[in-house]
């Protein structure tokens, strides 16, 4: 058996023991005891081992005859033991050792070994220690790898080794136990240390066990805590904010080894010499970590079926992931790779089902492939070459490109790498990047893999639009998009669309069908009217029908006033006929090259010239069924186990290439669009047939840069200080919006010379932009439900018109940081429901009216810059209103749950850290200033906190407790957060009955000041308080390091109560401490929270039986600490309650 070999290798006690055992045998009594302690201490300093265990920190205790030491196996602490000799004069023949352990929650096996010591026959210290080690190792051996985890183990002690071992194989084991004396490659100290660092970084660590010695680590944080603007998150994937989620990283493949990585960044070797194979998964979870079962399913999919799973995660759970078709593109199905149109697993309807689920989202597969392929290498380069993330990434890209050694590449291109790092520091000014755990790292310091990996993940997620989601290289584009987009490489484009690395088309159709319709329609118009240029759906291997015509490009007029059109478009009235589409018959000279395959009549799209390509795209889109029809098909419920409805089944006659074009229309759009239908969100006086869409475009830091520009304007200009921004319309022909949505408003507009200067043009009167600029389309996708024919944007602009290129008659703005798009107004067909609703009448009207009455915050516009539509004043609801509401809802939903047992065990592992107060004490939520809460409550006769009164009491407070523990720190952080939240939410302080002055929350979590007040007026104590003008009872609460397993200590500082012996009552001891059963070791439960204890104390003080509580005549004299302790002791003794261990230390 494993454990036998382990014991054998360390072979019982070593020679040191033999030497020690009889060394002082001439001596007797106290002298012998002192000599044995001294020698043992000496021996332990040099390393004293036996039965595979080691004795550490052997020392004399506080009292005479007391010794303390710890047993350690490998890196795992097993148990701390205190021995107390009753009488050293009888040592070593007739004394008794009282043995106990300060550790709580000891495994029963270990506990019984310690208990047996007290009844064992007298023996010297070396002999006693030998016996402890022997007994522990025996108990360990008889239990196989799993010692004393389970009471039932006692019954099968005599069974054979093999069955014994197997019987326990599936049981969870705990770190830090006398388990596993051979192979556990986990350092609980390191794990605990790293977990605490993760917590200090404001993330949540987690551990999920599998079998006996494998585990998965998780790191997460609530999505709402990410420093990515909410509208950007919504653009990336609406699921990020439509319900409360964590962004969660799973790390597996450690093969039971921790730490998995060495200080030089290379991977550790596993337990039996196999190399580690780290695997990362990125997804959304409801809880701070996914369920064990769900995690098991995910990691089982690693390795063997990885590629299929990758497809499956985003495309399909069944069909295409099957073995027969795994060679995509070569399947018997003529669909080819672009036909992976099955519905992805994350379906809307199942989203709420399972609290343990781990859900992929639009960025998952890209981030996972990055972590799996590049993270460890990049980390290694950072350490080896002292680079930042960006520099190391650039180095990796060059190493792979040049196929050379990193040393050589670095030597040649060092400056390039350094430049990358410099650039990232600039980027960090507008993107909020996570703290870099490797910053200021000591050479050879240990690496906290979970923290570093998670921090890297958040960094790359924040910057995802700056990198290609497929090859992960930095994009070299002139503009930055709101959503991630592929680089120019054809291979990347192919993978991006074929593997659906972008947003899920099915999800978009199901949840945001209007935007899908709009995007397809705009692509159609751009193609049909000759504006469709890069990006094109090439490189995707699309096989399309031979176009029977071609669509020529429009020649942009350099003096064009609008976007890409002749200057006259700006001035002509609405209804200007625009261009006649130049659809010319297919010309033999143009299409000589591409020849349709006689077998299917199809031709490669890539082989067509641009005009023909446009014609082909038009034809394909026209064959796509309406989005409403597709949605209805996808929304069909299917029986469990049946495969989801597939796109291609909507209409089998539709060519695969048409579905691919549909996918491309959505996945290549880098803007955010969502139709607004609720009354409270709608812009006033923009009526049908205009439909309103929320619209964001441009880089994710656009909003941040805009805010900075607003602030600068407010400081430099008095009018802007009051009205920092203005709104205006921007119109452009319908055929241009396909491009604007992908490149931003100004990509093509600024370059050309214009009538009023270079810049983006805006109008204050909507009909100018919406009428003449927004040249109507002459064509329309025939299955569109929206049938858009013209579009205009409504943008928010920094209110410094005197600094615009021109401000009359139009705004012409060159500073692109001064513009953010807010709305897209689309002139289209009236919505069907609007038509239907006209018959509803009263009910609907009432509903609308009611909604109207809800407070809608409107943007306060500069009276000097009003905006109008057809001379009607336009009112704009605060654009952030909706997203603020969404964020508020997410925040309210979110409640930080406790760590589960596995994780709590890691935090609770004993003596792993030094006893000095932890540095991770961070009160995350800055408590609100006290008057804010009070003013909100505003009750006339509410109790009011008096800072002076409490301050006076504070002079008598002891310094904070010196002892702390990670476990208690964690518990207290939670407790403090909860109590402050409860206080903040209370309707009145009087009702609450207690108050925790936020200004007195110090750096030490282990000491709190709380007031009790507003006692029932008829009580004698209440009358006393009023009579003396005492505002509250001021309490000090001190927490022991064993909290929450040991009770806190409550004492009153002021006022002084009439002692019991003088006729007082109310459970206040003569020293001002509160002595109640629930605050003693016997009565305490870790589940008690402070507000519930305060309530109990309040009841006790209010209790008239046997006598009511009263103030003492010297009520103004504060209680001293020592009288508090004495009073508590006396009262506990009287009642026969156990005084909590270490109470004195707590008060020292
Ligand atoms: Zn790429």
Structure tokens at 83: 């021995």
Higher pLDDT, 870 or 453: 453
**Ligand 1: centre distance to CA 365 (Å):** 14
- Of the candidates 457, 450, 468, the one whose C-alpha atom is nearest the C-alpha of residue 434 is 457
Work out the mean pLDDT of the chain and round it to a whole number: 76
Give the architecture-level CATH label for domain 947-1147: Roll (3.10)
**Ligand 1: centre distance to CA 409 (Å):** 21
Q: Residue 434 phi/psi, 5° resolution? A: -70, 160
Cβ-based neighbours of 271, under 8 Å, separated by 6 or more? 183, 184, 185, 213, 255, 256, 257
**Ligand 1: centre distance to CA 916 (Å):** 50
Q: Indicate whether 312 pLDDT > 70.
A: no
Average pLDDT over residues 365-378: 92
SS3 296: helix
Under the banding of pLDDT at 50, 70 and 90, the label for residue 190 is confident
Percent of the chain with pLDDT over 90: 14
525-549 pLDDT per residue, tens? 989 888 888 778 888 888 888 887 7
- Report d(CA 196, CA 451) in Å as an integer: 10
Q: Which residues pair with 69 in a beta bridge?
A: 81
Q: Indicate whether 571 pLDDT > 60.
A: no
The model's pTM: 0.58
279-305 pLDDT per residue, tens? 999 999 989 999 988 888 777 654 333
**Ligand 1: centre distance to CA 501 (Å):** 12
* Per-residue buried b or exposed e for 885-922, using 16+ beta carbons within 10 Å of the residue's own CB: ebeeebeeeeeeeebeebbebbbbbbbbeeeebbebbe
**Ligand 1: centre distance to CA 107 (Å):** 54
Helix (H) or strand (E) holding 1034: strand 1033-1038
* Other C-beta atoms lying within 10 Å of the C-beta of residue 105: 10
Q: Indicate whether 29 pLDDT > 80.
A: yes
- Report d(CA 1133, CA 1123) in Å as an integer: 15
Return the half-sphere exposure (C-beta side, CA atoms, 13 A cut-off) of residue 147. Answer: 25
Higher pLDDT, 452 or 473: 452
**Ligand 1: centre distance to CA 36 (Å):** 71
Under the banding of pLDDT at 50, 70 and 90, the label for residue 796 is very high
User: Residue 1071: exposed, middle, or buried by beta-carbon count in 10 A (0-12, 13-18, 19+)?
Assistant: buried
Cβ-based neighbours of 203, under 8 Å, separated by 6 or more? 219, 220, 221, 451, 454
pLDDT score for 554: 65
**Ligand 1: centre distance to CA 491 (Å):** 7
User: Residue 401: exposed, middle, or buried by beta-carbon count in 10 A (0-12, 13-18, 19+)?
Assistant: exposed
Angle 841-844-848 from CA coordinates, rounded to 5°: 130
pLDDT score for 515: 92
**Ligand 1: centre distance to CA 397 (Å):** 11
Helix (H) or strand (E) holding 48: strand 48-50
* Other C-beta atoms lying within 10 Å of the C-beta of residue 116: 13
CA distances, 161 to each of 72, 142, 568, 576, 731 (Å): 25, 8, 93, 92, 81
- Of the candidates 1060, 1074, 1073, 1072, the one whose C-alpha atom is nearest the C-alpha of residue 1118 is 1072
**Ligand 1: centre distance to CA 486 (Å):** 6
pLDDT score for 751: 42
Under the banding of pLDDT at 50, 70 and 90, the label for residue 930 is very low
**Ligand 1: centre distance to CA 285 (Å):** 29
**Ligand 1: centre distance to CA 492 (Å):** 5
- How far is C-alpha 915 from the chain's CA centre? 30
Every domain of the chain and the residues it spans: 20-136, 188-300+355-464, 504-550+601-637+645-669, 672-831+857-877, 947-1147
Q: How many residues does this entry show for the chain?
A: 1148
Cβ-based neighbours of 560, under 8 Å, separated by 6 or more? 566, 567, 569, 752, 754
**Ligand 1: centre distance to CA 539 (Å):** 13
Q: Indicate whether 49 pLDDT > 50.
A: yes
SS3 875: strand
**Ligand 1: centre distance to CA 374 (Å):** 14
Q: Indicate whether 68 pLDDT > 80.
A: yes
**Ligand 1: centre distance to CA 1054 (Å):** 69
Q: Indicate whether 522 pLDDT > 90.
A: yes
**Ligand 1: centre distance to CA 280 (Å):** 21
Give the pairing type, strands 97-100 and 185-186: unpaired
Per the CB < 8 A criterion, the answer to whether 726 and 799 are in contact is yes
**Ligand 1: centre distance to CA 378 (Å):** 18
CA distances, 765 to each of 354, 478, 728, 870, 876 (Å): 51, 31, 8, 7, 14
**Ligand 1: centre distance to CA 473 (Å):** 6
pLDDT score for 266: 86
**Ligand 1: centre distance to CA 806 (Å):** 40
Give the architecture-level CATH label for domain 672-831+857-877: Alpha-Beta Complex (3.90)
Q: Which residues pair with 729 in a beta bridge?
A: 763, 794
SS3 484: coil
1123-1144 pLDDT per residue, tens? 777 777 777 777 666 666 666 6
SS3 519: helix
User: Residue 850: exposed, middle, or buried by beta-carbon count in 10 A (0-12, 13-18, 19+)?
Assistant: exposed
- Report d(CA 158, CA 160) in Å as an integer: 7
SS3 761: strand
Under the banding of pLDDT at 50, 70 and 90, the label for residue 416 is very high
**Ligand 1: centre distance to CA 494 (Å):** 10
803-830 pLDDT per residue, tens? 888 888 888 888 888 988 889 999 887 6
**Ligand 1: centre distance to CA 265 (Å):** 27
* Other C-beta atoms lying within 10 Å of the C-beta of residue 1002: 14
DSSP 83: E
**Ligand 1: centre distance to CA 213 (Å):** 39
**Ligand 1: centre distance to CA 340 (Å):** 21
**Ligand 1: centre distance to CA 437 (Å):** 28
DSSP 689: T
Q: Indicate whether 968 pLDDT > 60.
A: yes
- Report d(CA 132, CA 13) in Å as an integer: 12
**Ligand 1: centre distance to CA 493 (Å):** 7
- Report d(CA 63, CA 516) in Å as an integer: 78
Per the CB < 8 A criterion, the answer to whether 608 and 602 are in contact is no
Structure tokens at 1148: 């020292």
User: Residue 107: exposed, middle, or buried by beta-carbon count in 10 A (0-12, 13-18, 19+)?
Assistant: buried
**Ligand 1: centre distance to CA 614 (Å):** 25
Q: Which residues pair with 285 in a beta bridge?
A: 246, 358
Q: Which residues pair with 544 in a beta bridge?
A: 603
Q: Indicate whether 133 pLDDT > 80.
A: yes
H helices present in 22-170, as ranges: 29-46, 108-119, 125-142, 161-169
**Ligand 1: centre distance to CA 487 (Å):** 4
**Ligand 1: centre distance to CA 432 (Å):** 24
325-351 pLDDT per residue, tens? 322 333 333 333 333 334 344 343 444
DSSP 719: H
Structure tokens at 707: 């805010």
Based on its alpha-carbon atoms, the radius of gyration of the chain, rounded to whole angstroms, reads 36
Percent of the chain with pLDDT over 70: 76
Per the CB < 8 A criterion, the answer to whether 705 and 427 are in contact is no
**Ligand 1: centre distance to CA 662 (Å):** 21
Long-range contacts of 1112-1116 (CB under 8 A, 24+ apart): 1112/1055, 1112/1056, 1112/1057, 1112/1058, 1112/1059, 1112/1062, 1112/1064, 1114/1056, 1115/1024, 1115/1028, 1115/1030, 1115/1054, 1115/1055, 1115/1056, 1115/1057, 1116/1028, 1116/1054, 1116/1055, 1116/1056
**Ligand 1: centre distance to CA 667 (Å):** 15
pLDDT score for 308: 32
Beta strands in 758-817 (DSSP E): 760-762, 790-798, 811-813
pLDDT score for 113: 80
DSSP 394: H
């Amino acid at each position: 058996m494993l454990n036998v070999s382990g014991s054998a290798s360390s072979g019982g006690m070593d020679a040191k023991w033999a030497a020690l055992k009889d060394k002082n045998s001439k001596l007797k009594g106290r002298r012998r005891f002192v000599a044995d302690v001294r020698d043992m201490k000496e021996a332990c300093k040099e390393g004293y081992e036996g039965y595979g265990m080691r004795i550490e920190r052997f020392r004399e205790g506080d009292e005479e005859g007391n010794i303390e030491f710890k047993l350690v196996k490998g890196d795992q602490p097993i148990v701390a033991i205190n021995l107390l000799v009753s009488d050293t004069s009888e040592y070593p023949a007739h004394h008794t050792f009282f043995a106990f352990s300060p550790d709580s929650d000891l495994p029963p096996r270990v506990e019984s070994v310690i208990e047996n010591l007290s009844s064992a026959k007298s023996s010297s210290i070396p002999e006693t220690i030998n016996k402890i080690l022997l007994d522990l190792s025996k108990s360990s051996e008889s239990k196989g790898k799993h010692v004393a985890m389970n009471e039932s183990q006692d019954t099968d002690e005599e069974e054979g080794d093999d069955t014994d071992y197997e019987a326990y194989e599936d049981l969870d084991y705990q770190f830090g136990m006398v388990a596993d004396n051979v192979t556990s490659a986990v350092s609980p100290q390191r794990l605990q240390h790293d977990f605490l660092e993760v917590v200090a970084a404001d993330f949540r660590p987690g551990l999920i066990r599998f079998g006996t010695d494998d585990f998965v680590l998780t790191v997460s944080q609530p999505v709402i805590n990410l420093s990515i603007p909410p509208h950007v998150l919504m653009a990336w994937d609406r699921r990020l904010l439509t319900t409360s989620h964590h962004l969660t990283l799973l790390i597996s493949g450690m093969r039971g080894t921790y730490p998995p990585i060495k200080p030089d960044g290379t991977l550790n070797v596993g337990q039996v010499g196999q190399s580690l194979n780290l695997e990362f998964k990125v997804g959304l979870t409801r809880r701070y970590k996914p369920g064990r079962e769900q995690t098991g399913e995910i990691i089982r999919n690693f390795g063997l079926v990885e590629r299929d799973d990758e497809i499956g995660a985003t495309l399909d759970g069944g069909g295409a992931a099957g073995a027969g078709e795994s060679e995509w593109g070569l399947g018997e199905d003529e669909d080819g790779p672009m036909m992976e149109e099955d519905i992805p697993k994350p379906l809307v309807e199942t989203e709420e089902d399972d609290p343990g689920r781990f859900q992929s989202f639009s960025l998952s597969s890209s981030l996972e492939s990055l972590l799996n392929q590049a993270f460890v290498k990049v980390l290694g380069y950072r350490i080896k070459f002292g680079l930042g993330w960006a520099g190391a990434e650039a180095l990796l890209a060059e190493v792979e490109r040049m196929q050379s050694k990193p040393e050589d590449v670095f030597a040649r291109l060092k400056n390039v790498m350094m430049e990358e790092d410099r650039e990232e520091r600039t980027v960090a000014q507008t993107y909020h990047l996570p703290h870099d755990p490797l910053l200021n790292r000591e050479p050879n310091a240990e690496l906290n893999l979970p923290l570093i990996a998670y921090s890297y993940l958040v960094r790359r997620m924040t910057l995802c639009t700056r990198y290609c989601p497929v090859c992960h290289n930095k994009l070299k584009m002139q503009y930055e998009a709101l959503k991630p987009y592929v680089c120019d490489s054809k291979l990347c484009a192919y993978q991006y669309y074929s593997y659906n690395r972008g947003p899920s088309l099915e999800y978009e159709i199901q949840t945001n069908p209007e935007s899908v319709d709009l995007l397809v329609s705009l692509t159609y118009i751009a193609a049909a009217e000759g504006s469709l240029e890069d990006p094109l759906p090439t490189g995707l291997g699309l096989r399309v029908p031979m176009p029977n015509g071609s669509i020529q490009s429009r020649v942009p007029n350099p003096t064009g006033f609008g976007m890409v059109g002749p200057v006259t478009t700006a001035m002509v009235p609405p209804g200007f006929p625009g261009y006649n589409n130049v659809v010319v018959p297919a010309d033999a000279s143009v299409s000589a090259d591409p020849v349709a395959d006689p077998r299917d009549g199809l031709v490669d799209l890539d082989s067509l010239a641009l005009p023909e390509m446009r014609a082909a795209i038009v034809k394909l889109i026209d064959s796509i069924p309406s989005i409403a029809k597709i949605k209805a098909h996808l929304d069909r419920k299917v029986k469990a186990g049946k495969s989801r409805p597939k796109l291609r089944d909507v209409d089998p006659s539709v060519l695969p290439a048409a579905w691919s074009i549909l996918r491309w229309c959505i996945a290549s759009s880098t803007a955010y669009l969502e139709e607004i239908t609720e009354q409270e969100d709608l812009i006033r006086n923009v009526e049908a047939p205009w439909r309103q869409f929320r619209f964001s475009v441009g880089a994710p830091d656009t909003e941040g840069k805009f805010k900075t520009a607003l602030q600068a304007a407010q400081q430099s200009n008095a009018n802007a200080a009051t009205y920092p921004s203005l709104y205006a319309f921007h119109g452009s022909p319908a055929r241009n919006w396909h491009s604007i949505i992908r490149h931003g408003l100004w990509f093509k507009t600024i370059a050309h010379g214009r009538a009023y200067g270079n810049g983006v043009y805006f109008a204050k009167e909507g009909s100018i932009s919406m009428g003449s600029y927004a040249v109507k389309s002459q064509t329309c996708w025939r299955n569109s439900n929206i049938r858009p024919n013209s579009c205009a944007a409504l943008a928010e602009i920094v209110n410094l018109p005197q600094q615009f290129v021109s401000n009359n008659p139009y705004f012409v703005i060159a500073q692109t940081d001064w513009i953010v798009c807010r709305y897209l107004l689309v002139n289209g067909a009236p919505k069907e429901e609007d038509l239907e609703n006209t018959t509803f009448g009263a009910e609907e009207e009432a509903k609308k009216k009611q909604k109207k009455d809800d407070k809608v915050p409107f943007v306060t516009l500069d009276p000097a810059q009003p905006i109008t539509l057809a001379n009607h004043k336009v009112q704009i609801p605060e654009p952030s209103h909706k997203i603020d509401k969404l964020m508020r809802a997410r925040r309210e939903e979110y409640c930080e749950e406790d760590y589960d047992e596995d994780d709590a065990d890691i935090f609770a592992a004993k003596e792993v850290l030094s006893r000095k107060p932890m540095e991770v004490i961070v009160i995350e939520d800055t408590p609100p200033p006290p008057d804010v809460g009070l003013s909100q409550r505003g009750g006339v006769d509410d109790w009011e906190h008096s800072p002076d009164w409490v301050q006076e009491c504070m002079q008598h407070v002891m310094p904070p407790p010196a002892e702390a523990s990670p476990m208690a720190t964690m518990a207290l952080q939670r407790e403090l957060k909860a109590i402050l939240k409860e206080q903040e939410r209370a309707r009145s302080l009087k009702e609450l009955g207690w108050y925790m002055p936020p200004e007195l929350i110090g750096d030490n979590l282990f000491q709190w000041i709380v007031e009790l007040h507003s006692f029932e007026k008829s009580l004698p104590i209440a009358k006393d308080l009023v009579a003396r003008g005492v505002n509250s009872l001021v309490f000090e609460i001190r927490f022991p390091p064993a909290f929450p397993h040991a009770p806190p200590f409550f004492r009153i500082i002021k006022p002084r109560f009439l002692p019991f012996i003088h006729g007082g009552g109310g459970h206040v001891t003569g020293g001002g401490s509160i002595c109640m059963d629930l605050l003693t070791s016997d009565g305490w439960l870790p589940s008690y929270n402070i507000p519930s204890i305060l309530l109990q104390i309040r009841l006790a003080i209010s209790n008239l039986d046997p006598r009511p509580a009263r103030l003492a005549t010297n009520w103004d004299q504060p209680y001293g600490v020592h009288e508090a302790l004495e009073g508590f002791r006396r009262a506990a003794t009287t009642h026969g309650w156990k005084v909590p261990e270490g109470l004195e230390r707590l008060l020292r």
